[in-house]
Amino acid sequence: MKTFTSAAELQQALREEKSHHNSIGYVPTMGFLHQGHATLLEKARNENDIVVLSIFVNPLQFGPNEDFETYPRDLERDENVAAKAGVDYLFYPTVHEMYGEEPSVKVVVQSRTDCLCGKQRPGHFDGVATVLTKFFNIILPDRAYFGKKDAQQVAVIDGLIQDFNFPIQLVAVDTVREEDGLAKSSRNVNLSVQERMEARELYQSLLKAKEAVESGERNAAAVTALVSEHIGAHTSGVIDYIEVYQYPELKPIETLSGHVIIAMAIKFKHARLIDNITINIE
Ligand code: AMP
């Protein structure tokens, strides 16, 4: 595995790979790698000749009162995980390498962002789309891998790829969970012991909602109430949102039908956790 901090040098190496007609699979991350990231890398490894991993905690996608400074970072550990996962090129740029002194252009996402994390985190998806536009242009991958845990991100990137004609196949990968159901996340290390125990209830509440839908519940408000009650009763977390939408369009619905998503963000003292479940209703 080769580690690059320079975009130009990585581009040069990848030009060489392309000249040999090697396909490129790309996994963008913010590091502090866990099994969720490893699963994306594994899939990329199976489907491409070359695997590129980027680790970049992107300041553009963090709000002023969010956890940019305290976001967990450990490059040495990440390099070991990446090497084991068969990564060929690790790209680890500085903020200056990505944005220089003052960027002159940014990408603004126009749809699928007025709900869920887009509503709670203004500018977040503009930051995600801007950095990915840059990474896509630097790496020119054939396939890019994203986790369904960040379901709104998948929907937004789908739009970015379509609208900007990136010749890239988006591959969405199922959420990887701890044994008790908690979605793996770099932010889980910021939970207290008590909060970590409570955090299992996020997925439990989604399963409860799924069960209700499978037993015939079709009222969106009743489903969100069920989830909200469960979170209130079993955790000390503060509900940022619990919402139900058509997926991937993220259109609000009163009555559940077709492909729907039940998504939540719950704030604990030092970690805001997100999770979701999608259901196909015949
Ligand atoms: P992050 O480093 O949190 O920005 O995540 C990088 C990529 O890994 C994103 O596409 C995430 O959706 C994905 N990812 C994070 N956690 C998980 C998980 N538990 N299961 C599957 N993919 C994940």
- CATH number for the domain spanning 63: value is 3.40.50.620
Catalytic entry in 21, 37, 96, 270: 37
Which residue is closest in CA terms to ligand 1's atom 13?
A: 147
Res 140: pLDDT: 98
pLDDT-derived band at 177 (thresholds 50, 70, 90) equals very high
Res 271: pLDDT: 96
255 falls within a domain: yes
Res 21: pLDDT: 98
- Token output for 109: 């996402």
Q: Are strands 143-147 and 24-29 parallel, antiparallel or unpaired?
A: parallel
Residues 44 and 84 in one domain: yes
As a whole number, mean pLDDT of residues 165-188 equals 98
- Token output for 169: 């196949």
For residue 30, say whether it is annotated as part of any ligand binding site.
yes
Residue where one domain finishes, among candidates 173, 203, 230: 173
The rounded percent of the chain whose pLDDT value lies above 70 is 100
Residue where one domain finishes, among candidates 173, 201, 226: 173
Number of neighbouring beta carbons within 10 Å of residue 16: 10
Cβ(260)–Cβ(191) under 8 Å? no
For residue 60, say whether it is annotated as part of any ligand binding site.
no
| Segments in the chain forming alpha helices (H) | 7-19, 35-47, 75-84, 95-99, 116-120, 124-139, 151-163, 193-214, 220-234
Can you tell me which atom of ligand 1 is nearest the CA of 30? 2
268 falls within a domain: yes
As a whole number, mean pLDDT of residues 65-75 equals 95
Residues 157 and 211 in one domain: no
Residue where one domain finishes, among candidates 115, 147, 173: 173
pLDDT tens, residue by residue, 196-231 = 999 999 999 999 999 999 999 999 999 999 999 999
pLDDT-derived band at 70 (thresholds 50, 70, 90) equals very high
Instruction: List all residues whose CB is within 6 A of at least one atom of ligand 1.
Output: 29-30, 36-37, 39-40, 146-147, 149-150, 173, 175-176, 183-186
Is 37 catalytic? The answer is yes
Residues 106 and 244 in one domain: no
For residue 206, say whether it is annotated as part of any ligand binding site.
no
Residues 151 and 22 in one domain: yes
Please provide the average confidence, as pLDDT, over all residues in the chain.
Answer: 97
Can you tell me which atom of ligand 1 is nearest the CA of 148? 12
Res 35: pLDDT: 97
Kindly tell me if the per-residue pLDDT of 269 is higher than 90: yes
Residues 168 and 192 in one domain: no
Res 102: pLDDT: 85
Instruction: With CA atoms as reference, report the closest residue to 192 among 109, 132, 271, 124.
Output: 271
Res 134: pLDDT: 98
Residue entry with tokens 């490129």: 24
Res 260: pLDDT: 97
Residues 190 and 126 in one domain: no
Measured in Å, residue 189 CA sits from the centre of ligand 1 at 15
Kindly tell me if the per-residue pLDDT of 282 is higher than 90: no
230 falls within a domain: yes
For residue 126, say whether it is annotated as part of any ligand binding site.
no
Distant-in-sequence, close-in-space partners of 84: CB < 8 Å, separation ≥ 6: none
165 falls within a domain: yes
Which residue is closest in CA terms to ligand 1's atom 17?
A: 36
Look up the domain containing 66 and give its range.
2-173
pLDDT tens, residue by residue, 152-162 = 999 999 999 99
User: Looking at the 3D structure of the chain, how many domains does it have?
Assistant: 2
Kindly tell me if the per-residue pLDDT of 103 is higher than 90: no
* Torsion angles phi and psi, residue 65, rounded to 5: -105, 20
Measured in Å, residue 20 CA sits from the centre of ligand 1 at 30
